[in-house]
């Protein structure tokens, strides 16, 4: 019936990732940490990381230690920073696998020191400074004391210092300047203890592009790497390419009589004889049960009708289509396109929420790279 192994799949264009890296490097003139947390926002962490390294990224960033392990087990040898917390077992494994951890509190300092002493092997850390995100980090006034304590531990190496901006998508927000000032005061304090660590980083995608003074010597980029917009209402320059396309095959196409109901709760009724198609994707795959869903079939926008099901969605077709006809859920078809930012706007969600929540049961097919 169909010439693909799955009726629903993602195509991840690794050439787009590599291309985007090259443009980020050219436009920021700063070494790049490719952020590949949450399975590279649902795109596939190992493959995206490999493409990013090919594209010139010198660091990889993840949120959890398990994500770093996945990259190492995938054969990736580039430096990896875990931005979030690690348990004591994970600290041991970080030492063994040469993964760099964020040091963000007295508790993490004590834990890392104890595990590194026990292993008699070095643990690399980046000191995380709290500047206004209110999440993780040591206050700028404590940075010098931390640096001295860390340097007293011969098995902990301070390789970097970083912080995270809370409002970089709004370049005029006064918090940006305040956070930069606090970060600089932490840097000043560290300098006062001897030397600054090798890597200094503050910028995510938004800051790397909107706030060049926050680039220091490393930018941490997730969204733009994948061709996702910085703000959903602002297009990226044309040379950035979206990496993700979501496709399906039509699994049913039938003519329903006027007055025939469609879906749970019979929320839709055919107004006349209508061609109703079924696509094998539902809210269990990462779509959402809101009004306004649509897909592309035959180069035309076909609205979803009736309530979305867990595994399937019914769509109103302008005419009959053969079973197996290609359906685009995210991407371009002919002159029409539906992008991640369109779905994000429809769902009142971030683009990262849209792509990260595409269920693992949807196979990822990697192109290029």
Positions touching ligand PLP (CB under 6 A) are 35, 37, 83, 164, 204-206, 220-223
Q: For residues 131 and 245, which CB has a smaller minimum distance to ligand PLP in the complex? A: 131
Q: For residues 60 and 327, which CB has a smaller minimum distance to ligand PLP in the complex? A: 60
Cα gap 46→70, rounded to integer Å: 7
Q: Which residue in the block uniquely carries the two structure tokens 């609205």?
A: 303
Catalytic annotation present for 37: yes
Question: Which among 112, 128, 264, 268 is annotated as catalytic?
Answer: 264
Question: Which among 37, 124, 128, 247 is annotated as catalytic?
Answer: 37
Q: For residues 168 and 317, which CB has a smaller minimum distance to ligand PLP in the complex? A: 168
Q: Least distance in Å: CB of 205 to ligand PLP?
A: 3
Is residue 282 within 8 A of residue 312, CB to CB? The reply is yes
Q: Which residue is nearest to ligand PLP (CB)?
A: 222
Neighbouring CB atoms inside 10 A of 73's CB total 10
Q: For residues 83 and 187, which CB has a smaller minimum distance to ligand PLP in the complex? A: 83
Residue 318, CB-side half-sphere exposure with 13 Å CA sphere: 8
Q: Least distance in Å: CB of 16 to ligand PLP?
A: 16
Is residue 60 within 8 A of residue 36, CB to CB? The reply is yes
Close Cβ partners of 141 (under 8 Å, ≥ 6 residues apart): 185, 189
Q: Least distance in Å: CB of 198 to ligand PLP?
A: 18
Q: Least distance in Å: CB of 65 to ligand PLP?
A: 15
Beta strand ranges found along the chain (DSSP E)? 8-13, 32-35, 59-62, 80-82, 100-103, 123-128, 156-162, 199-203, 218-221, 244-249, 252-256, 261-262, 268-269, 274-279, 294-297, 300-305, 313-317, 326-333, 336-338, 364-367
Q: CA quadruple 283, 287, 289, 291: dihedral positive or negative? A: negative
Q: Least distance in Å: CB of 231 to ligand PLP?
A: 10
- Give the bridge partners for 35, in sequence order: 61
What DSSP assignment string belongs to 9-36?
A: EEEEEHHHHHHHHHHHHHHH-S-EEEE-
Q: CA quadruple 96, 37, 25, 101: dihedral positive or negative? A: negative
Q: For residues 227 and 331, which CB has a smaller minimum distance to ligand PLP in the complex? A: 227
Q: Least distance in Å: CB of 1 to ligand PLP?
A: 39
Close Cβ partners of 95 (under 8 Å, ≥ 6 residues apart): 115, 116, 119, 121, 122, 123
Cα gap 282→304, rounded to integer Å: 11
Q: For residues 209 and 283, which CB has a smaller minimum distance to ligand PLP in the complex? A: 209
Q: Least distance in Å: CB of 80 to ligand PLP?
A: 14
Q: For residues 228 and 317, which CB has a smaller minimum distance to ligand PLP in the complex? A: 228
Active site residues: 37, 264
């Amino acid at each position: 019936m169909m010439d693909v192994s799955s009726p629903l799949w993602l195509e991840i264009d690794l050439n787009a990732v590599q291309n985007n890296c090259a443009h980020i490097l050219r436009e920021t003139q700063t070494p790049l940490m490719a952020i590949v947390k949450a399975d590279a926002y649902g795109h596939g962490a190992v493959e995206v990381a490999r493409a990013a390294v090919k594209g010139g990224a010198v660091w990889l960033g993840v949120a959890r230690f398990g994500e770093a392990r996945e990259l190492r087990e995938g054969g990736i040898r580039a430096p990896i920073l875990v931005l979030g917390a690690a348990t004591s077992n994970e600290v041991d494994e970080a030492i063994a696998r040469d993964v760099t951890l964020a040091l963000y509190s007295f508790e993490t300092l004590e834990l890392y020191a104890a595990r590194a002493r026990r292993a008699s092997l070095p643990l690399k850390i980046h000191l995380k400074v709290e500047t206004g995100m209110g999440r993780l980090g040591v206050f700028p006034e404590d940075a010098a004391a931390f640096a001295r304590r860390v340097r007293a531990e011969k098995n902990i190496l301070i390789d970097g210092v970083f912080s995270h901006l809370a409002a970089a998508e709004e370049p005029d927000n006064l918090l940006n300047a305040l956070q930069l000032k606090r970060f600089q005061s932490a840097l000043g304090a560290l300098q006062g203890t001897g030397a600054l660590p090798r890597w200094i980083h503050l910028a995510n995608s938004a800051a790397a592009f909107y706030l060049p003074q926050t680039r220091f010597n490393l930018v941490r980029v997730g969204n733009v790497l994948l061709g996702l917009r910085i703000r959903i209402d602002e297009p990226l320059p044309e040379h950035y390419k979206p990496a993700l396309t979501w496709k399906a095959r039509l699994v049913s196409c039938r003519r329903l009589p006027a007055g025939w109901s469609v879906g749970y709760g019979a929320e839709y009724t055919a107004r006349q004889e209508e061609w109703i198609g079924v696509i094998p994707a539902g809210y269990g795959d990462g779509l959402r049960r809101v009004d306004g869903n649509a897909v592309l079939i035959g180069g035309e926008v076909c609205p979803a009708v009736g309530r979305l099901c867990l595994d399937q969605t019914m769509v109103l077709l302008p005419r009959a289509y053969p079973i197996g006809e290609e359906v685009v859920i995210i991407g371009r078809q002919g002159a029409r396109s539906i992008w991640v930012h369109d779905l994000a706007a429809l769902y009142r969600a971030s683009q990262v929420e849209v792509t990260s929540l595409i269920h693992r049961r949807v196979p990822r097919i990697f192109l290029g790279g």
